[in-house]
Amino acid sequence: MQIQNKRTDLVTREALPIEELVRFIVKDGKIILPALSYEGRGYYIKKGSIELAIKRKVFERLLKRPLKEEEKESLLDYER
């Protein structure tokens, strides 16, 4: 029996295998995406759902401030 590492998607609250998720961290008031080799508290979002995360204000809750337009564009560019 193979054990899969699963993490919770912040948008859908589903427990998914790490391979289906993108890890990011919040460091010094900025979002670092993808954060594969960074230390710190990692957050996970399902690949392809960054736009939905922006709409649901997931990043704003983590940052404790509104997202700037250039931050939104940068996040959306990552997904494209």
Is the entire prediction scored with pTM above 0.85?
A: no
Pairing of strands 15-17, 21-27: unpaired
Other CB atoms within 10 Å distance of the CB of residue 8? 13
Residues 53-75, mean pLDDT to the nearest whole number: 94
Tell me the pLDDT tens digit for each residue of 3-62: 678 999 999 999 999 999 999 998 888 888 888 788 878 899 999 999 999 999 999 999
Query: Tell me, what's the pLDDT at 3?
Result: 63
Which amino acid would we find at residue 16?
L
Of the candidate CATH numbers 3.40.1190.20, 3.40.50.620, 3.30.1230.10, 2.70.150.10, the domain formed by 6-79 belongs to 3.30.1230.10
Q: What angle do CA 38, 15, 20 make, to 5 degrees?
A: 60
Q: Is residue 56 classed exposed, middle or buried when 0-12, 13-18 and 19+ CB atoms within 10 A define those classes?
A: middle
